[in-house]
Amino acid sequence: MSQRALVGIIGGLVLIVGLLIGLLVGGGSDDDPNLEAVVDEASAPTTSTTEAPSGSDDATASDDSATTTTSTTTTTTTTTTTTTTTLPPGSGTIVAGSGVAGWSAAGQWFGLDDGFLPATAGETYQVIKLGEPVTTVVAGDVTSGCEFIDPSADVDGIMSLDDWPDYPVAVAANWNVVPHKVEVLSNDNQTYKDAVSDVLNGQGVIDPDPTLRQVIRTDLEGDGVEEVLIVAGYDGPLFEASPRDYSITIMRKLIESQVQTAILSFYVVPPGETEDLGWYFESYRIAAVADLNGDGRMEIVTNDSYFEGGGSRIIEYLNDDLGPWEVLHVGCGV
């Protein structure tokens, strides 16, 4: 064999080996999917906190991230529960402590006066109670409600007498009913005591050291500006209230760098002989803060009770000009 032929054979072998190595390293066709791990680059939401005016504890910006504080004030945060179960759309029926309050659809409110009561057995409800996770309940039988109100109805399995006076609220819907953080704060806060005392003074009631019963901080609209809800006043047996005893619910909100206060409910026992007049004290509680009509904004649900009755009110914050407004109410009593 000639030297030229030998060189040719060696060159051919080198070419073949090179092709084989190329196939092994390349891993196949350019159409193969990328098998590398994908890194989620979505960062946690970033929010800023703006300090309230000097002397005020009212927050002005939400912070959904976990924080650690050395304050002795304790808070309870309500968040929605995560579930793998897909909820049915539902009728939008809203059930409160005294029965069906009405229903919602496409962000609108419909009371029982509209002549339609959509509550039916077997529907899935989201049950919201202040300071507790949201739960789901399948409704039982729908029965006639308060004998003094027509139409009215009760839905079995959603409310219990054991909940009194803090009845929850429930809605037959599949949207996120608590889209924004709701915090239950300590009742021992001098700033909020002073705020209640100032409001009472404007109503002719003098109480320099009011008893706070509930303090809730939340962001109703999700706009980064938080509201503070406060319930204060007498907390004893309803029929033992004395003249000048009161119950009050207020909302504080920072509007154009000024803290504004709105009265959501207020009752004071008039001066006089209560034994002869038969005064029965009316007491208020905040039951829940939740989005009950699916528009992404949360409403305030309050419970009121007196010696032989009570009710629930759903209050929507319309805007900074119109403020809070009652949109639905259900009650029962003599």
Ramachandran angles phi, psi of 300, nearest 5°: -105, 130
What percent of the chain clears pLDDT 90, i.e. is strictly above it?
Answer: 42
Instruction: Report the pLDDT value the prediction gives residue 90, as an integer from 0 to 100.
Output: 84
What percent of the chain clears pLDDT 70, i.e. is strictly above it?
Answer: 66
CA 252/CA 230 separation, integer angstroms: 8
Task: Give the tens place of pLDDT for each residue, 259-317.
Answer: 999 999 999 988 775 565 556 789 999 999 999 999 999 999 999 988 778 889 999 99
Q: Please say if the pLDDT value at position 210 is more than 80.
A: yes
Computed over every residue of the chain, the mean pLDDT equals 75
Instruction: Report the pLDDT value the prediction gives residue 147, as an integer from 0 to 100.
Output: 57
Instruction: Report the pLDDT value the prediction gives residue 288, as an integer from 0 to 100.
Output: 96
CA 139/CA 210 separation, integer angstroms: 40
171 pLDDT band, cuts 50/70/90, is: very high
Query: Which has more pLDDT, 19 or 129?
Result: 129
Instruction: Report the pLDDT value the prediction gives residue 148, as an integer from 0 to 100.
Output: 52
Q: Please say if the pLDDT value at position 185 is more than 60.
A: yes
Strands (E) in the chain, as ranges, are 76-78, 93-96, 99-105, 108-111, 124-128, 135-138, 142-144, 153-155, 169-171, 182-184, 212-218, 227-233, 246-255, 258-268, 283-290, 299-306, 309-317, 324-333
Cβ(315)–Cβ(201) under 8 Å? no
Ramachandran angles phi, psi of 321, nearest 5°: -85, -45
Instruction: Report the pLDDT value the prediction gives residue 187, as an integer from 0 to 100.
Output: 97
Query: Sign (positive/negative) of CA torsion 323, 324, 328, 332?
Result: negative
Instruction: Report the pLDDT value the prediction gives residue 220, as an integer from 0 to 100.
Output: 97
DSSP category for residue 197: H
- Mean pLDDT (whole number) for 108-132: 84
205 pLDDT band, cuts 50/70/90, is: very high
Q: Please say if the pLDDT value at position 13 is more than 70.
A: no
Tokens matching residue 25: 């390293």
Cβ(303)–Cβ(74) under 8 Å? no
Instruction: Report the pLDDT value the prediction gives residue 223, as an integer from 0 to 100.
Output: 92
Contacts of 257 (CB under 8 A, 6+ apart): 53
Q: Is the pTM higher than 0.75?
A: no
CA 164/CA 162 separation, integer angstroms: 6
Task: Give the tens place of pLDDT for each residue, 232-269.
Answer: 999 888 888 888 899 999 999 999 889 999 999 999 98
Instruction: Report the pLDDT value the prediction gives residue 153, as an integer from 0 to 100.
Output: 65
Q: Please say if the pLDDT value at position 45 is more than 50.
A: no
Residue in 117, 89, 88, 124 with CA at minimum distance from that of residue 101:
117
